[in-house]
Chain A
Amino acid sequence: MRTESIQPPPEAKNSETVTLHINGEARTLSVKPWVTLLDALRENLDLTGTKKGCDHGQCGACTVICDGKRILSCLSLAVMKDGAEITTIEGVAPTGDLHPLQKAFIEHDAFQCGYCTPGQICSAIGMFKEGKAHTEAEVKELMSGNLCRCGANTNIINAIMEVKNGGNYE
């Protein structure tokens, strides 16, 4: 039923040079304006820890921390993040170590396939930084942007609550 065709834009599209500070390292890359942060991470920078679930903002698998806030990389354009500080799952803990949430996820069996896990962990780190989740009900509400297709939610919330109650989440 759709009749209009997609018109190419009038001017030539140039790639833009963008510098992203990813996991503490400045990475400069050349991207087209329509490349999402998610695709830039996975395809240009080989950081495949960040996952593409839905690509439409509906699952949270692509969650990263940008300038201290958890965001969805699938709905962000790389060109709009020039100069930003970005933490992905690859950068949540020093090399060779695990973040307390990573340890807790293992202890609580907080995954089955593991596809949602990087997003869950980055999201929980962002939630701790926001400091708005005090009760378990609030944790559940503020983690609702991360779906788990395997249904490991109960263990995910248990793992997050353990780290939260331990007070050690940096």
Chain B
Amino acid sequence: MNDFNFYKSQGISDAVEKIADQPDAKFIAGGTNLIDLLKYNLMTVSTLVDVNSIKEDTLSETDGAVLLNAFATNANTAYHPIIEERYPLLSKAILAGASAQIRNMASNGGNLLQKTRCYYYYDANTPCNKREPGSGCSAINGYNRNLAILGTSDHCIAVFPSDMCVALAALNATVCVTGPDGDRKIPFSEFHRLPGNTPHIDNNLLTAELITGIELPSKGFEKNYSYLKLRDRNSYAFALISVATAMELENNQITEIRIALGGVAAKPWRVQKAEDFLVGKTPTKENFALAAELIVEGAKGFEFNAFKIELAKRAIIRNCLMALNPASQLPGAQPSA
């Protein structure tokens, strides 16, 4: 770690002002990603601005919608009775990520901003366009088992590794931010970015903008939902593929469905065409299989991750079937049914 200053912020505007004043200052919440990156010297900071003093409740409810506090921990969010009852998909996805200790520390805002787990991003001795724009991408022709199959570019094939965000994408969440120019809201689908030729920019948050909350629309899909996470070990590992399904059924017909994939791209992946296709259909393996084809359309495998295309399709089918019977699901977002 480099030497830096520490500042305990007194509130949202105080924190934003402090960062706006100093180009190399950064917010720190749980620290579970930032301290790690600082230890690897992948980032340097002049001042860390602690946002933990911005203490409020885990969430608030208005007109049926729920506003998650960005500074609340992932654990308090996942175990909150309102989230467990009304948004169990979100609860499941959060609990599938990291470990109990890390979830006790990690904040909701920080979760949206975690860095990729591309091996080469972490190895400062190798070229990486995300870490050092223009230096090249070591992963495209390197060991790319945990990297992307969708939305890649010739400059970067990194995956955005969050579990929580896969559920937030399926729930059509909105990110609330405050910056030097005031407040704004960013729809979840427009928050994270595909690499294109600017892979060093992960998302559309501007300098000195602070995430203050995440809005969940009133619809929580608490009857038919499932989160499935496939990985190299059963727990405490990042996803190779994950799937969030939120479904509404009437007389055994799908009236609404959302399917979001994690582990496949630089952002949670949703395909409108596939969701539209399923509306009005019966929830069968055959229909989910047809939708899965639409979701992975255009996928491109690399030397060590081409298997993920088939794995993604099977995971989509399995997870949509699991969503029919949430009660049968196992702890840790493992395959069931």
Contact = CB atoms under 8 A, between A and B. Distances in A.
B9 to A, nearest CB: 12
Contacts of B101: 60, 63, 70-72, 123, 126, 145
Contact of A142 (B1, B48, B100): B100
A8 B31 CA distance: 21
A60 B99 contact: yes
Contacts of A141: 235, 331-332
Nearest to B52: A80
A66 B117 CA distance: 28
Given A1-B135, A10-B46, A72 B39 contact: no
B205 to A, nearest CB: 22
A71 B104 contact: yes
26 contacts: A1-B126, A1-B132, A3-B132, A6-B44, A7-B24, A8-B2, A8-B3, A9-B47, A10-B22, A13-B5, A16-B6, A32-B3, A56-B39, A60-B99, A80-B52, A123-B100, A126-B101, A127-B100, A130-B75, A140-B235, A141-B235, A141-B331, A144-B99, A145-B99, A145-B101, A145-B236
A9 B4 contact: yes
Contact of B102 (A13, A57, A126): A57
> Which A-B residue pairs are the 4 nearest by beta carbons?
A145-B99, A144-B235, A33-B6, A9-B46
A55 interface: yes
B102 A132 contact: no
A1 B126 CA distance: 6
A69 interface: yes
B6 A76 contact: no
A11 interface: yes
B168 to A, nearest CB: 22
A34 interface: yes
Contact of B36 (A2, A4, A75, A127): A75
Nearest to B76: A69
Nearest to B7: A33
Interface in B123-163: 124-127, 131-132, 135
Given A16-B6, A57-B102, 6 more contacts: A33-B4, A34-B4, A60-B99, A72-B101, A135-B331, A141-B332
B186 interface: no
Interface string B104-131: 1100000000000000000011110001
Contacts of B332: 141, 144
Interface string A74-88: 011101100000000
Given A72-B105, A141-B332, A132 B31 contact: no
Contacts of A145: 98-102, 236
B162 to A, nearest CB: 15
Nearest to A81: B52
Nearest to B34: A75
**Residue in A2, A140, A146 whose Cβ sees the most chain B Cβ within 10 Å:** A2
A6 B31 contact: no
Contacts of A63: 101
